[in-house]
Amino acid sequence: MSKQNKKLHEYLTSLNLTHLRAVYSDVSNRAVKENMDYESYLLELIEHEWLQRRHNRIERMFRESKLPLEKSLQTFDMTRLPKKIIHQVKLLCKGLFLDQKENVLAFGNPGSGKTHLLCAIGQELIRQGKRVYFIPSVMLVQKLLQAKRELQLPRLIKRLSRYDAIIIDDLGYVQQDRQEMEVLFTLLSERYERGSIMLTSNLPFSKWETIFKDPMVTAAAIDRLVHHSTILELNISSYRTQQAKTRKEADQNQNDTV
């Protein structure tokens, strides 16, 4: 390695431009061959580093998000959804609702695809550089309670505020006691107009008193969530049931033709 290259390596290392360090020699050789002007050469080098950093950042955000990777838009059959919801989903994937701190509430029968759909939207948002965090509601409540016991609730809520969206999966799935619901209500209140919540629930609002116990608290929780929100009503049959039916029919047809 020439003295010049050695110096360059040192500088690039100390500036943390590790990707640029790996590619500059190839790019320089090509620049000479192709008679590139100085600014195009510089642009290409910087672009390499920029792309790599963006890639790393998105990977890191995917890891942090705890999103199940298999629940993506690519693996989701959109044709099962009513037209109106397809339109809503396309809009949500653009991510504007995060800037407006709006919420997304997905309702519907078990198996209708609520979790998959919100995870898929979450993945699209991460690709646009947004920060998303996925957590089943039961786990979230346990986490909040533990933090409260350790007098760390404000700290946890602050940490969660770094995320543009928190996906709370399956709200109301198991009955929880009053104390558990109090901490959840605290989080909802803290995030109101400050950060988006995306949640799925099998329970329509009319049954939310079983979640929040007290009618006033229930009304207040619904009010905060709904005020700025998109509601996705997945009134469709269970995907799993439909798959099983289709398989059975296919088997039947095969038997008939044999």
Q: How far is the CB of 177 from ligand ADP (least distance, A)?
A: 24
φ/ψ (deg, to 5) at 195: -165, 155
Concatenating the DSSP letter of every residue in 102-131 gives -EEEEEESTTSSHHHHHHHHHHHHHHTT--
**With contact defined as beta carbons under 8 Å apart, do 145 and 179 qualify?**
yes
Closer by beta carbon to ligand ADP, 15 or else 244: 244
Q: How far is the CB of 51 from ligand ADP (least distance, A)?
A: 31
N-term to C-term CA, the chain: 73
DSSP 235: -
Measured in whole angstroms, the distance separating CA 3 from the mean position of its chain's CA atoms is 48
Q: How far is the CB of 190 from Mg ion (least distance, A)?
A: 24
Nearest to 60 by CA among 111, 132, 146, 161: 132
Considering CB distances under 5 to 8 angstroms, the limit depending on partner class, which of Mg ion, ligand ADP, none binds residue 113?
Answer: ligand ADP
Q: Tell which one of 65, 88, 103, 115 touches Mg ion (CB under 5 A).
A: 115
Binding residues for ligand ADP, rule: CB under 6 A, are 71, 75-77, 80, 108, 110-116, 200, 239-240
Q: Are strands 165-169 and 132-136 parallel, antiparallel or unpaired?
A: parallel
Closer by beta carbon to Mg ion, 115 or else 123: 115
Q: How far is the CB of 227 from ligand ADP (least distance, A)?
A: 24
Closer by beta carbon to ligand ADP, 23 or else 203: 203
- Segment near Mg ion (CB under 5 A), from 42-50, 95-103, 115-123, 146-154? 115-123
Nearest residue to ligand ADP by CB is 113
Q: How far is the CB of 168 from ligand ADP (least distance, A)?
A: 12
Hey, which bits of the chain come out as E strands?
Answer: 103-108, 132-136, 165-169, 196-201, 229-234
Considering CB distances under 5 to 8 angstroms, the limit depending on partner class, which of Mg ion, ligand ADP, none binds residue 47?
Answer: none
- Residues in contact with Mg ion by the rule CB under 5 A: 115
